[in-house]
Structure 1
């Protein structure tokens, strides 16, 4: 009999390294699953547009999600190490290997678990990297992934894949536990003891016969699960569509050809950037070399068209933008040439509150095309946004508004 604490597998026993990987993986799974469930439940309560989120509730949700993501990343790298170790080791035969139906089922569950150990954390990691939101992974190596853009569509599909992969993991885990209990309570054999520390190799198993059917079946199940998850994610994107409010058609001396109107806020120490999908700008402008009035601008923004990463739904709620009651924001400003460049001064009407703002910007004009870029910082509390979250550490008071656009001078009517 080989020593109890041998490191490598044998034909009849699992080594200490395999046992360590097995129970470490079990610990990570059984930690990640309840953390994810509790965090998701709390996050749904916090992000419900009808609710008023408190600083404490947001902080708890962020912490739980951070722990869930961190455990998930640890599970991913543990799974990779475990798989590399497994392919280098001998696979002990099943004690019930003569029962081909049970042996096939056992191997199928193992193949499903191996796939889940990679696909569940990886899809969650892609979702995290593609999302603009809070709850960072608790490690010093950054939050992004190569080749994964910040994209609501990518995040939606990855999140749905994560959910379906988690369902396969949960089903395979329940089947694995049920099989282990059957070996203990009904078969009363040595199967569970072979994976426990401190136990010897046990009886000699039948000659191992590893058929091709289990991995093929597992592959088909994963193809079906991932296909259904991808289809569901794309369907959710199609059904959701842009939620916009009708904006007035405006005449403009300069027609905007392309541009971006964005806001950035700090939530739990992480920058969350959102963009308005629907906005218009009516611009009247004439160049001048000396300081003084140079024109006017009117910008209308559809509040429901704002996407703000993982907190979009919460941002539309009554305590924040209250998009149902106040679907539009309007800025009417005078364009002034200054010593250093240009600025637009005037009232911003947001959530029914009107406040004077100043937007400094740079301007480059080549022929009939103008390119401008500007930014300013607003206090969200000045517009009664998120008053229930007064703690600056939970949700920053400062909101950076940035605008970049390219406009072309409209054709002048011929005399």
Structure 2
């Protein structure tokens, strides 16, 4: 296992960033869906701040992932994959990057125009407002944030479904090369014994 990506699989850093992003998106989604049912209380504001701080972390991670991908590259498509599947996978990957970037950014914009309390990352430091308070833009950005979230959910479902389809039915290395401690089937050469040589 190497830190950088190879032609056959994703490296350790890409895997770490990928699965950490998945975990944080799951936390952000659950907290976001639960907090709308909470009464306005100190607990509500704590949960709300957790949702915003997690979103900001996801935003930073996707920027880091893009920088790392530009530096480390990406594995080649799995051998035998049809060209049309490669194109769909490429488009889906970049749409996922766009959505993972757009969802927390739209939340940051919504928080800015709402004129609420200062936006603090886990209470450690304050982040600037991206726009001036605006009652006219507030419902638009709230709805935009929500719709972008559901678009992200749909893309994640397609992405995960395709990975499991390749793993269970195509039986190729599409999924396993993003898992730690596994080698691609295509990268493993069959062993040759001395008796077979003779």
Shorter-chain TM-score tier: 0.7 to 0.9
Contact 2:103 2:145 in 1 (8 A): yes
Which residue does 2:9 correspond to in 1?
13
**Compared with structure 1, are the counterparts of its residues 97 and 30 closer, same or farther at alpha carbon in structure 2 (3 Å cutoff)?**
farther
Which residue does 1:36 correspond to in 2?
32
Contact 2:172 2:185 in 1 (8 A): no
Which residue does 2:141 correspond to in 1?
158
Residues 273-312 of structure 1 mapped to structure 2, 5 A cutoff? none
Give the Cα separation in 1 of the matches to 2:20 and 2:49: 20
1:199 to 166, 172, 182: 182
Q: Deviations over 1:240-275 (max 9, x none)?
A: xxxxxxxxxxxxxxxxxxxxxxxxxxxxxxxxxxxx
Give the Cα separation in 2 of the matches to 1:121 and 1:36: 11
- Structure 1 position 144 matched with structure 2 position 140: no
**Compared with structure 1, are the counterparts of its residues 103 and 67 closer, same or farther at alpha carbon in structure 2 (3 Å cutoff)?**
same
Give the Cα separation in 2 of the matches to 1:97 and 1:121: 37
Find the residue that maps to 1:142 and give its secondary structure: strand
> Any gaps of 5 or more consecutive residues in structure 2?
188-198
Q: Deviations over 1:21-59 (max 9, x none)?
A: 1111111111111110111233xxx4xxxxxxxxxx522
Residues 189-338 of structure 1 mapped to structure 2, 5 A cutoff? 189-204=172-187
Which residue does 1:85 correspond to in 2?
68
- Structure 1 position 99 matched with structure 2 position 82: yes
- Structure 1 position 167 matched with structure 2 position 150: yes
Give the Cα separation in 1 of the matches to 2:185 and 2:6: 11
Give the Cα separation in 2 of the matches to 1:20 and 1:189: 22
Measured after TM superposition, the shift of residue 128 of structure 1 is 0.8
Give the Cα separation in 2 of the matches to 1:164 and 1:150: 21
Q: Deviations over 1:209-257 (max 9, x none)?
A: xxxxxxxxxxxxxxxxxxxxxxxxxxxxxxxxxxxxxxxxxxxxxxxxx
> Any gaps of 5 or more consecutive residues in structure 1?
47-56, 205-415
Give the Cα separation in 2 of the matches to 1:97 and 1:150: 53
**Compared with structure 1, are the counterparts of its residues 38 and 118 closer, same or farther at alpha carbon in structure 2 (3 Å cutoff)?**
same
Find the residue that maps to 1:102 and give its secondary structure: helix
Which residue does 2:165 correspond to in 1?
182
Give the Cα separation in 1 of the matches to 2:32 and 2:167: 30
**Which has the larger share of strand?**
1
Give the Cα separation in 2 of the matches to 1:105 and 1:73: 29
Which residue does 1:286 correspond to in 2?
none
TM-score (norm 2): 0.85
Which residue does 1:344 correspond to in 2?
none
Contact 1:79 1:114 in 2 (8 A): yes
**Which has the larger share of helix?**
2
How many residues align structurally?
186
Give the Cα separation in 2 of the matches to 1:106 and 1:40: 34
Greater Cα radius of gyration, structure 1 or 2? 1
Measured after TM superposition, the shift of residue 167 of structure 1 is 1.7
Give the Cα separation in 2 of the matches to 1:181 and 1:201: 15
Deviating 4+ runs (over 4 angstroms): none
Give the Cα separation in 2 of the matches to 1:98 and 1:14: 17
Measured after TM superposition, the shift of residue 96 of structure 1 is 5.7
2:46 to 60, 63, 67: 63
